[in-house]
Amino acid sequence: MAEHVIEIKGLWTRFGRQVVHRDIDLSVRRGEIMSLVGGSGSGKTTLLRQMLGLERPARGEVLILGESLHGGDPGVMRRLRDRRGVLFQEGALFSALTVFDNVALPLRELRTLDEGLIHDLVMMKLSMVGIEPLHAYKLPADLSGGMVKRIALARALALEPELLFLDEPTAGLDPDRSEGFVTLIREMHRELNLTVVMVTHDLDTLVALSTRVAVLCEQRLLIVGTLDEVVANPDPFICNFFMGERGRRALDAVRNVEATT
């Protein structure tokens, strides 16, 4: 049995009187790429924020790497900081710091690394995500959205985490860049033995990366399974989501690639 990196048990979320999640159970296995999908307002991002410990569910428990996030232990966030990395939707780079300082920040926070090692580690991470050294001392405001995302990924990977959270990794990138970013994530996943949890709207990204897919719909977790299992489900929401024009195109594309290789 594969080890579970994330376990969500009996999770409920309420905003006022509105129930967003009703009794959700979800486990993420080590080494897989789990995609969370669902319509707008289905609470994908809320669920992700709960997995990060930024929001507290009304009921239920979230275990990350065996630690309960909402158990009231103040040390959890500190212990988890070098075991998980997060890529926020807009990158969330600190606008007052240069690219180099952004990536160096988590390393400096450890307080035990010397500046020379930090410099080399930062430069290596930047070159891994395809950022040239000449951009290292620029401010995030001077860079394009695609580069900001790459740098944010480098920052998320700075502490060599085993768990990576991605919130809409390809939103706001043009098709060429998002293709490149998907390839980058796939490489990082393979190279660093990452477990990835991803929220996405983008079918191409979903099809290209997911090991398993979890579909959130009408407050519940509709289905968790491989892409083929999910697509085979007759639920009308899934039909709309995957079997619409765009969905079929994305699925066909991936099938063609599989057929030719």
Partner 1 sequence: MPAPATPTIPAPDVRQVIAADGTRRFELSGAWTLRALRFRLTELTPRLAEYAAAPAAQWDLCGVQAIDHAGAMLLWRAWGRRRAANLVLNPEHESFFGNLELPAERPREHARRDPLRLLVFLGRKLLSVLDHFTTMVAMLGQVVLDAGFLVRQPARIPWREISSNIYRTGTQALGITALVGFLIGVVLSFLSSQQLKLFGADAFIINILGISVIRELGPVLAAILVAGRSGSAITAQLGVMRVTQELDAMAVMGIPHTLRLILPKLLALAVSMPLIVLWTDAIALLGGMMAAHAELGIGYRYFLSSLPDAVPIANLWLGLGKGVVFGLLIALVACHFGLRIEPNTESLGIGTTNSVVTSITVVIIVDAVFAVMFKDVGII
What's the distance, CA 94 to chain centroid? 19
**Cβ atoms of 129 and 150 closer than 8 Å:** yes
Site string for partner 1, 4-33 (x = CB under 8 A): x--x--------------------------
Determine the Cα–Cα distance for residues 106 and 158; give it in Å rounded to an integer.
7
> Which residues share a beta bridge with 180?
none
- Residue 144, judged by CB atoms within 10 A of its CB (0-12, 13-18, 19+), counts as exposed
Shortest Cβ 43–partner 1 spacing (Å): 24
Shortest Cβ 257–partner 1 spacing (Å): 24
Site string for partner 1, 175-194 (x = CB under 8 A): ----------------xx--
144 is a contact residue toward partner 1 (CB under 8 A):
no
Q: Three-class SS of residue 219?
A: coil
77 is a contact residue toward partner 1 (CB under 8 A):
no
Residue 132: which residues within 8 A CB-CB, separation 6 or more?
none
Report how many residues bind partner 1 under the rule CB under 8 A.
37
113 is a contact residue toward partner 1 (CB under 8 A):
yes
How many CB atoms neighbour CB 54 within 10 A? 12
133 is a contact residue toward partner 1 (CB under 8 A):
yes
Q: Which backbone phi and psi does 51 adopt, to 5 degrees? A: -70, -25
Determine the Cα–Cα distance for residues 184 and 169; give it in Å rounded to an integer.
11
- Considering only 52, 65, 151, 198, the residue that binds partner 1 (CB under 8 A) is 65
Determine the Cα–Cα distance for residues 12 and 61; give it in Å rounded to an integer.
9
Shortest Cβ 6–partner 1 spacing (Å): 11
Is 37 or 99 the residue whose CB approaches partner 1 more closely? 99
What's the count of helices (H) and strands (E) in the chain, helices before strands? 10, 10
Determine the Cα–Cα distance for residues 147 and 139; give it in Å rounded to an integer.
11
Q: Three-class SS of residue 29?
A: strand
2 is a contact residue toward partner 1 (CB under 8 A):
no
Shortest Cβ 71–partner 1 spacing (Å): 11
Is 132 or 176 the residue whose CB approaches partner 1 more closely? 132
Is 86 or 238 the residue whose CB approaches partner 1 more closely? 86
134 is a contact residue toward partner 1 (CB under 8 A):
yes
Is 39 or 145 the residue whose CB approaches partner 1 more closely? 145
Is 79 or 246 the residue whose CB approaches partner 1 more closely? 79
Shortest Cβ 161–partner 1 spacing (Å): 9
Q: Where are the beta strands (DSSP E) in 139-219?
A: 163-167, 195-199, 212-217
Instruction: List interacting residues with partner 1 (CB under 8 A).
Output: 3-4, 7, 63, 65-67, 79, 82-83, 95-96, 110, 112-114, 116-117, 120-121, 123-125, 127-128, 132-134, 136-137, 139-141, 159-160, 191-192
